[in-house]
Amino acid sequence: MKTWEGRIQMNTQEFLTQVSATPEEREVLEIIASSRPLKKLQGRYPKPLDLLRSPYLDNPYVFNALLQDFSRDHYSFRPYIKALKGLYPKDPKGLSLLSFMMALSIEMEEPLVQEKVLYLFRHSFPENSPESFGLYSYLLYFSFSLEAYPVLEKYRPYTTRIREAVPLEHFPEQFSLLQFLFQGNPLQIGKGDSGGLSTFLLQLGKALTRSMEISEVYTLSLIDVSKDHSSFPLVQKIEDEHIAITLPFHVGEDRGFIKSHSFLKAMVSVVLNKLQLNPNIYHVRYLNDASLSMAKLGKERKRPVVLTLTPDPHRSMIHEKTHRVVPHNYEEGMEKIHKVQVGKKMLASTGGVLGIGGTKAKKRLLQYFPELETMAKNKPFQMISEGIDIHLPSKESINIEKVLTSKYHRYAIDPKNLGKPYIVNVGRLHPLKGQQKLLEAFYRSGAYEKYNLLIIGGNVQRPNEGERNFLNFEKDFLKSHRELQGSYVHIPGVPNRMVRLIERKINKLENAELPHIYFCSSEKEEFGIAILEAMVEGFIAVGPKAGGVSTYIQHGKNGFLGEMGNVWDMEKSLRETMDFFAAHPKKIQGLKENSIKTIQEDYSMEAISLKFAKFYREVLNYDKC
């Protein structure tokens, strides 16, 4: 087909031809893309032990594909169990084989690796590694003893918390929700990976329980035990009927959970069993192996799973203007193909699908996922926009002048510049969020002569890699561009209500001749909770054209849209916005009013939460059919 829609519905083989790869690499891509990777590998390695010891299994995507293939067939893996009998601690492939078989055991719900085999390897597991945490998860899942393994001593605080956890008061006859947040934490908003989605789930959970539509909401997130977070409690109350569950897990470098998803499923299962908890609906929000493992867990626990679906990675596989397949390198090709496979499995296994946005967003989603039109008859599929609590904050107060000029910040506003308007940016410090490019564009555009720049986000005390990179850049850039000092302030991540309060107080500052701007520096924003929050506080928002922001910002009517791919794009957007204000001063008030009206009428959390609750009930009713 020659149409745009037809090009989107390409098969994986078409994409494979555009991946830059050697013949050996292309063979790996074919294995990952195959519906039966085991058969492909058996053709090369007819003996089970040779297959398991092959270099292919060192590739995380092949590891994953083979694991998925085995787990579909309860008989295909039986000959491979014998491969474990000859293992010994000095075997260079021993630990890899054990990890694979432990993961398969969890998928099969059968302890294929016996304790006596693990005992032989008790000193072989590296400390603070995916392998040692995989062992830990396996032993907990099958109720084996932890005592014989010195490497697990690090996890003792987590073990204690899990074992001492008391069942949560839960009423199975009522309607409850378990929502998963595997990137971020609702109790750590603005720090690490905790950004807009963390804020949204926090507010959605509150709104659902306040509305009485859902009796209990549980938000399950992770702490990464590859770093030290031993003081974090397992269960915390956000509100009376909204509970945060923070699960220990070794995330490390496997942020897509490609090799670790089985162990994640094991840990979630252990904790839910200990808390005697099995809510009516599970909700996942990423196309990755963590979400797929939760879909499997839901099936095991006889609970339907809802998936929030976005057009990734498909969107980056086809050029939107030329309609051609975009060439990728080998590493990118593996990632894209794997995600497409995960997406297909997720659509087949979920009880309902939610898209973000309205009619325009739905059309785009159907282009990338034509399967949505051929799903099982009446299987719930609906588009719901995300929203915000438009009433935050209430009676709290701060001295905004002191906040902006505080010497406790790395950089602060010079008191003589307090009367200048503000460009505000809120979010986690990550390359995808583009704060580094924004700081450069702020200088290059000359915006600092008229505006102050306020960036809110990041953990300054215990930065992760992305935060540390930005902080180092910030230090060097401000040192070499001293004219920015006094017009730039960076406030570390603070609770959402404090962000809203800061924005509200800034809008009440006197003497600003130009309007305050909220500038979203992400190249693509799927929706943009922080943008909505700034708009309802009266900021004029500038957001990216790519993604879902265009569903609520109409360029020149209630905000502005621009390209955000690089520094020059952002510089252009800043210049054009300031030029518009200079040329059309009488339109500024109308922009503000339209901005506030858009959010109040269409994106209030109260209204959005009712739509979510109604959809969840549809899924429950469908699941009973």
Please say whether the beta carbons of 348 and 374 come within 8 A: no
222: domain CATH number? 3.40.50.2000
**Secondary structure percentages of the chain, helix, strand, coil, to 5:** 50, 15, 35
Q: 1 falls in which pLDDT band (50, 70, 90)? A: very low
Sign of CA dihedral 201, 614, 306, 361: negative
Is 208 found in the same domain as 171? yes
Is 287 found in the same domain as 371? yes
Q: Identify the domain boundary among 123, 157, 191.
A: 157
Please say whether the beta carbons of 351 and 40 come within 8 A: no
For the segment 72-85, what is each residue's pLDDT rounded down to a tens digit? Answer: 876 777 777 776 67
In a domain, 596, yes or no: yes
In a domain, 350, yes or no: yes
Non-local (6+) Cβ contacts of 616 within 8 A are 175, 177, 214, 280, 281, 283, 306
pLDDT above 70 (res 43):
yes
**Residue 261, token pair as written in the block:** 């998803």
Please say whether the beta carbons of 543 and 549 come within 8 A: yes
Within 13 Å, how many C-alpha atoms sit on residue 260's CB side? 23
**Max Cα-Cα span within the chain:** 81
Is 500 found in the same domain as 456? yes
In a domain, 394, yes or no: no
Average pLDDT on 19-35 reads: 86
For the segment 550-606, what is each residue's pLDDT rounded down to a tens digit? Answer: 889 999 999 999 999 899 999 999 999 999 999 999 999 999 999 999 999 888 888
Structural domain boundaries enclosing 496: 400-603
For the segment 155-189, what is each residue's pLDDT rounded down to a tens digit? Answer: 999 999 999 999 987 776 688 999 999 887 777 66
Is 100 found in the same domain as 231? no
Look at strands 235-239 and 242-249 and give their pairing. antiparallel
In a domain, 269, yes or no: yes
Is 206 found in the same domain as 99? no
The H or E element containing residue 455 is: strand 452-456
Is 536 found in the same domain as 491? yes
Instruction: Look up the pTM and report it.
Output: 0.84
Which is nearest to 131 in space by CA: 221, 228, 259, 292?
259
Please say whether the beta carbons of 102 and 77 come within 8 A: no
The per-residue b/e assignment along 30-62, b for 16 or more CB within 10 angstroms, e otherwise, is: ebbbbeebbebbeeeeeebbebbbeebbebbbb
In a domain, 98, yes or no: yes
Instruction: Scan for tokens 């307090």, then name that residue.
Output: 418
Count of domains for the chain: 3
In the chain, the amino acid numbered 291 is S
In this predicted structure, what is the pLDDT of residue 6? 43
Q: Identify the domain boundary among 132, 157, 182.
A: 157
* C-alpha span between 181 and 219 (Å, rounded): 7
Identify the three-state secondary structure at position 557.
Answer: coil
Is 220 found in the same domain as 350? yes
In this predicted structure, what is the pLDDT of residue 323? 61
Instruction: Scan for tokens 């506003």, then name that residue.
Output: 413
Is 560 found in the same domain as 497? yes
Within 13 Å, how many C-alpha atoms sit on residue 600's CB side? 11
Instruction: Scan for tokens 């659902």, then name that residue.
Output: 208
Q: Identify the domain boundary among 136, 157, 178.
A: 157
Is 505 found in the same domain as 359? no
pLDDT above 80 (res 314):
no
In a domain, 535, yes or no: yes
In a domain, 395, yes or no: no
Is 130 found in the same domain as 59? yes
Is 353 found in the same domain as 216? yes
**Residue 100, token pair as written in the block:** 């694979």
Average pLDDT on 194-220 reads: 84
* C-alpha span between 267 and 217 (Å, rounded): 20
pLDDT above 50 (res 492):
yes
In a domain, 113, yes or no: yes
Is 468 found in the same domain as 345? no
Average pLDDT on 428-439 reads: 93
* C-alpha span between 219 and 213 (Å, rounded): 17
Q: Which of 92-101, 237-246, 376-385, 433-442 has the lowest mean pLDDT?
A: 376-385
Please say whether the beta carbons of 200 and 192 come within 8 A: no
* C-alpha span between 610 and 65 (Å, rounded): 39
* C-alpha span between 207 and 202 (Å, rounded): 9
* C-alpha span between 104 and 73 (Å, rounded): 11
Residue 17 burial by Cβ neighbours in a 10 Å radius (0-12, 13-18, 19+): exposed
